[in-house]
A and B are shown apart, each in its own frame.
Chain A
Amino acid sequence: MTLTLDKQLELHRMMMLIRLFEEALEEMFSRGLLHGTMHLSIGQEASAAGACLALDKEDLITSTHRGHGHCLGKGADPFKMFAELLGREDGYCRGRGGSMHIADLSNGNLGANGIVAGSLTISVGAALSFQMQKKDNIVLCFFGDGAVNEGSFHEALNLASLWDLPVLFLCENNQYGMSMASDKAVAGESIASRGNSYGIESIQIDGNDVEAVFESVTSFKNEILTTNRPKFIEAVTYRYRGHSKSDRNLYRTSDEIEYWKEEKDPIKRYIGKLIESGVTEAKLKEIDEGVKELIRNSVKKALDSPMSPVTNLEEDSYA
């Protein structure tokens, strides 16, 4: 698959947007502006950007506690995301969801989920709706390596396969479920092999290679729509930051983190590739400056927007 230059620059821009969004969050957190914790995906941008940009707006995603990248990838407005984390009325969930629960239905994001593997069965139900409504769309279900040892992972894969549901399961294997290394937690050959055991074609890819992610999701999406079979991708990646803000990284070495930052960083690698293929540094700088300005303006606008008013929260619990 040969990508157009526009698509390549879009992939780069999206990875930059996700990284700078989360770096801005870190900065706001350190200034004491944010209430609560958050789970950053810095280092994992390629899987979110590559996967989401391979989808149409009408395709749906379900997301995880580490979901800022998925949300931005699917087209969310960073201002409304910052506003959500700041407890503002303009936030996607009017301050009720926060970092871990942003949903953006207008762009096909069914929501981030704070329960590990919580969105797998939901993605199966959404895919069932597509099947019953005879729509030519898929549901892309993001989850982490930690989710594959939950019972609902197995129930969801089994049913998706039995019922030929249009789901693309995408495991972002960042190699740690909080502190638990996935090689100590996952029995058997690999995470991808678990998909195969349910009769679902499964592949393992370099999750830090944004074009590999984009191409795999694109071709699997087409196959899902032509064969009516679910598919499974294990995208191997790495998170630089701790699980959440309280993490002291006691379960891994700084050498390991440095190795991934230096040798495997998805953005750095992609910049190298783009430059090699003839994209100028000036062009990339122009894109980066545009992203920085968007982040600056979004933060400012979010800080200026009104706090979410205290309504009758008991009534708000019901539709």
Chain B
Amino acid sequence: MPELTAGQSINKALSLILEKNQTAFLAGEDIGIYGGAFGVTEGLLEEFGSERIKDTPISEDVIAGLAVGASMTGSRPIVEMQFSDFIVNAMDPIVNQAAKLHFMYGGAVNVPIVVRAASGAGTGAAAQHSQSLESWFCHVPGLKVVTPSNAQNAYDLLLSSYVDTNPVIFMEHKLIYKVKENVTLNPIPKDSSYLGKASIAQEGTDLTVVSYSNMVNVVKEAVSMDELQNYSIEIVDLQTVSPIDFETIKNSLIKTKKLLVCQEAPSNSSVGTTVVSKVVESDLFNVLEIAPKLVSGLHSPMPSAKHLESTVIPQKEDILNAIQDML
């Protein structure tokens, strides 16, 4: 079982996909000789050649658009947007084309593409290279949105995203590129049923924290702080934020009766607000002992300076405070 960062485990998944599927190819900015801005595609050019590892000009619109056209004609593209902030330049092919063609053409076509992008803050990359834009895509029917939190689920979720017959937005938080863990290199699954399933990152009975992406790791740190050693906290890692696995959330809340949601993104129209609203408009409202709480990033662009950046992103102390308020 190799010890890998999420960047390295994604590299292994890409390599496996390319090895097993001749119709699969990668396209994106600096994914070839540079090895990807975060090193995720390192070595793949040597292994698979420039016909399948396609370095593109800085042209996000056509990168996403070519994926749509290629996927409709028998190819299986996995494209990279480098920083997820650049995906804004590719909104038409993703939102108006990829997401809609299957429906709009009455089911006559599928658009099985994976759009990978590096998301999130914490690296001092400032306002245009640090956003968590996953909620934008959750709002669009036809897209699936996947947000791994560690090297293992990044590996497994990428394989499932590839197998899925729908367009998948795959948001890789930059901080998970830095953390190593032992990764089981599973084979490519037969179906994509792993998408849309949350995982229980830690079992508990006193309170449920729902989170996703790197914030799961921050929640884990908070929960392991001394102040909480006498409590039993359950952590639900959504893994996929569209569709959201409400079944797992429900089962957890029936047990704990308290809901805290933590995310790095600002709260307006976000994954977190969706989780809270779905819970309170359901029968679970009667199960909850206290009002649910949402800890989110500030409604502010990401500042560059470290102390300002950490003011915008929820820190483990913010999560600790929220949990203590609720217990």
Contacts and interface: CB of A to CB of B under 8 A. Distances in A.
Interface string B158-174: 00000001100000000
B96 A125 contact: no
B108 A121 contact: no
Interface stretch (A155-163, A255-263, A270-278): A155-163
Given A125-B75, A152-B61, 9 more contacts: A62-B69, A92-B106, A93-B106, A110-B109, A115-B92, A128-B66, A129-B70, A317-B102, A318-B142
Contact of B103 (A158, A162, A317): A317
B69 A133 contact: no
B248 interface: no
Contacts of B51: 132
Interface stretch (A42-50, A95-103, A168-176): A95-103
Chain A interface size range: 35 or more
B62 interface: yes
Interface string A143-158: 0000000011001101
A93 B102 CA distance: 10
A103 B109 CA distance: 9
Contact of B61 (A60, A92, A105, A155): A155
A163 B51 CA distance: 10
Given A158-B57, A319-B166, A101 B65 contact: no
B229 to A, nearest CB: 44
Interface of B: 23, 25, 51, 54, 56-57, 59, 61-62, 64-75, 77, 89, 92-93, 96-97, 101-112, 141-142, 144, 165-166
Contacts of A62: 69
Given A128-B75, A319-B112, A121 B105 contact: no
Interface string A85-97: 0000001111111
Contact of B65 (A111, A124, A314, A319): A124
A115 B97 contact: yes
Given A118-B92, A132-B75, A155-B62, A125 B70 contact: yes
A128 B23 CA distance: 11
Given A115-B97, A159-B62, A125 B69 contact: yes
